[in-house]
Amino acid sequence: NKRVKAVSVFRPFIFGSEAQPFDPEKRPANAPVDHTHQWRVFVKGINDEDISYWLKKVQFKLHETYPQAVRTVETPPFEVVETGWGEFEIQIKLYFTPESGEKPQTLWHSLKLHPYGPDAEGMKERREVVISQNYEEVIFNEPVEPFYDLMTGG
């Protein structure tokens, strides 16, 4: 496939996590006894825009303490919902739509369970959701023609 010269196509997205301590009155029944939080890690479009026309699948690699630590998500929402007790680095591998001919790209996200800063104690008591997310852009330099057409609606 021919490349479109001197052109870069970029797409913005959000990746990150949301976490919350269990409600002590009703812990999830199937959660191991040492787990304290529920959380999710995700990759999504800005304002929840559908990004599945360029993002084919996402592979999340959790801490090795998790059974089946590698989780592959092939359809939106690109997310993993879990419970746990500890914070760790999550490897996020983005696979692009096959027309792109692009190699996967890897990102890292630090799962945050615990609030920090002046309000941290109050947040814990109120069991507020701890959000840690980042804006990112993927850039495709000189994309192949079919992918360029897909991206630009041509």
Residues that bind ligand SLL (CB under 6 A): 32, 63, 65-66, 84-88
**Is 17 in contact with 131 (CB distance < 8 Å)?**
yes
Query: Residue 53 or residue 85: which is nearer to ligand SLL going by CB?
Result: 85
Q: Which amino acid is at 154?
A: G
d(CA 18, CA 125): 17
Shortest spacing between CB 98 and ligand SLL, in angstroms? 33
Minimum CB separation of residue 64 from ligand SLL in Å reads 8
Least spacing, CB of residue 113 vs ligand SLL, in Å: 8
CB of 34 to ligand SLL, least distance (A): 6
CB–CB of 150/53 below 8 Å?
Answer: yes
Sheet arrangement for strand 130-141:
78-84, 37-44, 8-21, 130-141
Burial of 125 (0-12, 13-18, 19+ CB in 10 A): exposed
Q: Which is nearer to ligand SLL, 87 or 128 (CB)?
A: 87
Residue closer to ligand SLL by CB (options 6, 33) is 33
| Residue number, 3 or 63, with CB nearest to ligand SLL | 63
